[in-house]
Amino acid sequence: MTASVLQLYNRITRWPAGPWLFSRAVCFKAPYFATIAPRIEVLEANRCVATLRHRRKVTNHLGTVHAIALCNLAELSAGLMTDASLPPSMRWIPKGMTVEYLKKATGTMRAIATPAQPIIDATAGYDLPVDVVITDPTGDPVFHARIAMWLSPRR
């Protein structure tokens, strides 16, 4: 049996530079997320906090964090939160995402992903909406996403 993502997070983050190492491991498993170089700060059942530093490779022509970089951060944090919260008998896949850009995104972005309803162990598949709020360094929301996750029993 393989260890869950939450077990790996709890084991690795005890080490010096553990959060950095865990974030790198996630990007190794899902290479596209490496394009934003995220940092996973907190991972627990029903909550994930991840950050994205504002630097040149995620900057748009306006000098703000690019909209798709924010979407990537939202999808990553929602996926990790879902994976860490699921009963072992369930699996997940994202089905869709709606987003709102609330204000210009400058500085280090902080995403907090939480489920919009309780996650249950079910015998049939169901939709799980996941809310992700991304804030700027002052704590003001700059972005909101609702990601539709499809949860279903493992075969």
Q: Is 110 helix (H, G, I), strand (E, B) or coil?
A: strand
**Contact (Cβ atoms closer than 8 angstroms) between residue 38 and residue 50:** yes
pTM as predicted: 0.94
Give the H or E element holding residue 11.
Answer: helix 5-12
Summarize pLDDT for 68-87 with one digit per residue, the tens: 999 999 999 999 999 999 99
Residues 139, 133: Cα–Cα separation, whole Å: 10
Going by C-beta distance under 8 Å and a sequence separation of 6 or more, which residues neighbour residue 73?
A: 36, 38, 50, 52, 109, 111, 132, 134
Residue 29's CATH number: 3.10.129.10
Q: Which domain holds residue 130?
A: 5-153
Summarize pLDDT for 9-62 with one digit per residue, the tens: 999 999 999 999 999 999 999 999 999 999 999 999 999 999 999 999 999 999
Report the domain count for the chain: 1
- The predicted pLDDT at position 121 comes to 87
Going by C-beta distance under 8 Å and a sequence separation of 6 or more, which residues neighbour residue 17?
A: none
